[in-house]
Amino acid sequence: MRPLLAPHRCPGCEIRKPLCFCAWIPRIELSTRLIVLMHTCEEVLTSNTARLAAKALVHSEVRIHGRKDGRMKTEGLVEPGRTSLLLFPSPRAIELTPEFVSQLSGPVNLIVPDASWRQTARFVRHEPAIAGIRHVKLVPGPPSEYRLRVQRNEQHLCTLEAIARAIGVLESPEAQAGLEKLLRVMVERTLWSRGKIPASECRESGIPAGI
């Protein structure tokens, strides 16, 4: 992993400083290329985490599918010279482990769906552009730290967490830790703004006294 680049700066940070966490978004330059395939329903959700992953990882992009006015752009989805992997725990998915990664040739093109389970399963079945891409899944790990949506299963992760753990295997634990810290900042700031937790529980980024 190359050194972290300068963090994002938001023009409105000074106005909304207690709520805005743009300054906490790292810029992480990796060999892995990330492509998030986001369902249009996720575009308007403030609890969406995939956009943060795309902002933090330099070689990344977000493509939208599910819109009524057109299909998702598929040009360049598979890049020559890279091994394309689809992060989706289908029955034929291979566990993403260091041993598996060591057998890959060249850098990885990591494709990550971002939608509800039902939307994702349907999309993976019917999208021709990803039909031949190898499926990978994460090994079981710690419970999710995401507290903005109710998870039916403690092994279910938000998209940013899934990307972070995948990047931890593909690249480095340091890159994973940077993404996971970003998630904790987002969760804390959001819960504080909703009145769900006191400022004293915002340990990752902190809330100024008197706010």
- Contact by Cβ (8 Å): 109, 36: no
Q: For residue 50, how many C-alpha atoms fall within 13 Å in the half-sphere facing its CB?
A: 24
Burial (CB < 10 A; 0-12, 13-18, 19+), residue 88, is buried
Residue 9 pLDDT > 70, yes or no?
no
**Are 18 and 211 in contact, with CB atoms under 8 Å apart?**
yes
What mean pLDDT value characterizes the chain? 87
pLDDT in tens, 183-201: 999 888 888 888 888 888 8
**How many other CB atoms are there within 10 angstroms of residue 102's CB atom?**
7
Read off the tokens for 51. Answer: 């956009």
Q: What is the pLDDT of residue 126?
A: 92
The alpha helices in the chain, defined as continuous H runs, are 50-56, 98-102, 117-126, 159-170, 173-193
Domain boundaries, the chain: 30-181
What 8-state DSSP symbol labels residue 9?
Answer: -
What confidence category does residue 128 fall into, taking pLDDT thresholds of 50, 70 and 90?
A: very high
DSSP-assigned letter for residue 72:
P
Split at pLDDT 50, 70, 90, the class of 14 is very low
* pLDDT class of 210 with cuts at 50, 70, 90: low
Looking at the chain, the whole-number percentage of residues with pLDDT higher than 70 is: 86
Q: What mean pLDDT is predicted for residues 46-53?
A: 90
pTM, entire model:
0.87
Q: Cα(9)–Cα(127) distance, rounded to whole angstroms?
A: 36
Cβ count within 10 A of residue 169: 20
- Architecture of the domain delimited by 30-181: 3-Layer(aba) Sandwich (3.40)
